[in-house]
């Protein structure tokens, strides 16, 4: 067995914008300074995985999943108080930030009923001046789930106006079905799922409604001899957040043009970098190759990823498709919603 070596995965940040994104309206004394959160003290979580298929008497069959959206508290860092979040999970107890990784197989259907268990009051400020999903009773936070990069039927795509509230009591104008059908007929690769409700997408994602979706194809992938297994094939969902000293997520509630759009800001930049739900985590690895499926789940921030000790990446795929041939590179630049 190869000896173990502790390597700190350092995610350095390249901001593809000017510093004006952090405006003078922020109340700096209520935000916890990033320097107060020691780096590399929390272990990198290996995300929970759920299979999107069944094996019945040696035959692969479609599977029906039930995944909910819950309000709960999440510990982003050892020295940060628990944070109120919205999280995906098969139960409130198992719900996590990010949500469970759905593992599907090429050509085997996956069915998911997305259940909304969210309360009526949001944990973040949202802008009422833009077109927004608002229930007539004003009870319940609207959500609808979109699998980003999936090629599926329109009714299962998560249209922004197909939103619904808790127990499906209120529904958007294009809502048509409770259970979404994912055919998984595209190239094997990496996707991700997230909320997509009209006018609320950003705040629902910032609150935590994100997760990875993987499509596998043994016939295509086995000859590539890539690292496999949960220990060596690891999704890394990277995003940025700012936190108040009480642990709550900070989002500026004053817009760039308050007289026109009281709460609208075109971009969100946080000053704490989170990977798989932990701020600046560490990972103990073996002296061997790993496969990282890196997803940039930030609203606006670009990430320039590299190893501080000179190791290189072998880049094998982008988003939901393999490259024609692997590329050895010293660094990888990922924009929002981009996957490597």
* Domains of the chain from N-terminus onward: 4-334 (2.60.40.420)
CB 143 within 8 A of CB 163: yes
Cα separations (Å) of 234 from 178, 228, 275? 30, 9, 12
Q: What is the pLDDT of residues 167-212, one digit of tens each?
A: 999 999 999 999 999 999 999 999 999 999 999 999 999 999 999 9
Q: What is the pLDDT of residue 112?
A: 98
pTM: 0.91
CA 55 – CA 32 distance, rounded (Å)? 48
Paired with 86 in beta bridges are: 71
Q: Which candidate, 155, 143, 215, 147, places its Cα nearest to that of 179?
A: 155
- For the cut 90, the answer to whether the pLDDT of residue 261 exceeds it is no
Determine the longest span between alpha carbons in the chain, in angstroms: 65
Buried b (16+ CB within 10 A) or exposed e, 33-54: eeeebeebebebeebbebebbe
Q: Which candidate, 205, 224, 227, 191, places its Cα nearest to that of 339?
A: 191
Q: What is the pLDDT of residue 11?
A: 40
- For the cut 80, the answer to whether the pLDDT of residue 161 exceeds it is yes
Residues 6+ apart with CB under 8 A from 81: 246, 247
Residues 6+ apart with CB under 8 A from 42: 77, 78, 278, 279, 280, 281, 282
Paired with 330 in beta bridges are: none
Question: Is residue 25 very low, low, confident or very high in pLDDT (cuts 50, 70, 90)?
Answer: very low
- For the cut 90, the answer to whether the pLDDT of residue 16 exceeds it is no
CA 12 – CA 270 distance, rounded (Å)? 14
Q: What is the pLDDT of residue 151?
A: 94
Question: Is residue 4 very low, low, confident or very high in pLDDT (cuts 50, 70, 90)?
Answer: very low
3-state secondary structure of 224: helix
Q: What is the pLDDT of residues 278-334, one digit of tens each?
A: 999 999 999 999 999 999 999 999 999 999 888 999 999 998 899 999 999 999 999
């Amino acid at each position: 067995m190869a000896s173990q070596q502790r390597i700190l995965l350092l995610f350095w940040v390249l901001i593809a914008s000017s510093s004006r994104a952090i405006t003078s309206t922020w109340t700096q004394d209520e935000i916890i300074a990033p320097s107060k959160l020691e780096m590399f003290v929390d272990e990198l979580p290996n995300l929970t995985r759920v299979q999107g298929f069944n094996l019945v008497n040696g035959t692969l069959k479609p599977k029906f999943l039930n995944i909910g959206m819950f309000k709960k508290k999440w510990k982003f860092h050892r020295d940060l108080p628990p944070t109120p979040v919205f999280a995906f999970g098969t139960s409130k107890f198992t719900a996590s930030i990010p949500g469970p990784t759905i593992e599907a197989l090429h050509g085997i259907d996956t069915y998911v009923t997305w259940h909304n268990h969210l309360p009526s009051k949001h944990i973040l400020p949202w802008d009422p001046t833009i077109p927004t999903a608002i229930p007539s009773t004003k009870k319940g936070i609207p959500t609808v789930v979109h699998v980003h990069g999936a090629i599926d039927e329109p009714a299962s795509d998560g249209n922004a106006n197909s939103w619904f509230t808790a127990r499906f009591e209120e529904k958007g104008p294009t809502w048509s079905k409770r259970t979404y059908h994912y055919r998984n007929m595209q190239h094997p690769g990496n996707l991700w799922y997230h909320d997509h409700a009209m006018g609320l997408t950003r705040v629902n994602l910032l609150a935590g409604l994100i997760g990875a979706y993987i499509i596998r194809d043994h016939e295509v992938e086995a000859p590539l001899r890539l690292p496999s297994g949960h220990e060596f094939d690891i999704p890394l969902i990277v995003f940025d957040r700012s936190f108040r000293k009480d642990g709550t997520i900070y989002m500026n509630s004053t817009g760039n043009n308050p007289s026109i759009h009281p709460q609208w800001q075109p971009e969100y930049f946080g000053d704490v970098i989170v990977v798989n739900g932990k701020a600046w985590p560490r990972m103990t690895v073996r002296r061997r190759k790993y496969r990282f499926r890196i997803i940039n789940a930030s609203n606006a921030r670009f990430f320039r990823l590299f190893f501080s000790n000179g190791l290189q990446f072998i880049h094998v795929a982008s988003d939901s498709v393999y490259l024609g041939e692997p590329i050895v590179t010293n660094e990888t630049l990922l924009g929002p919603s981009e996957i490597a």
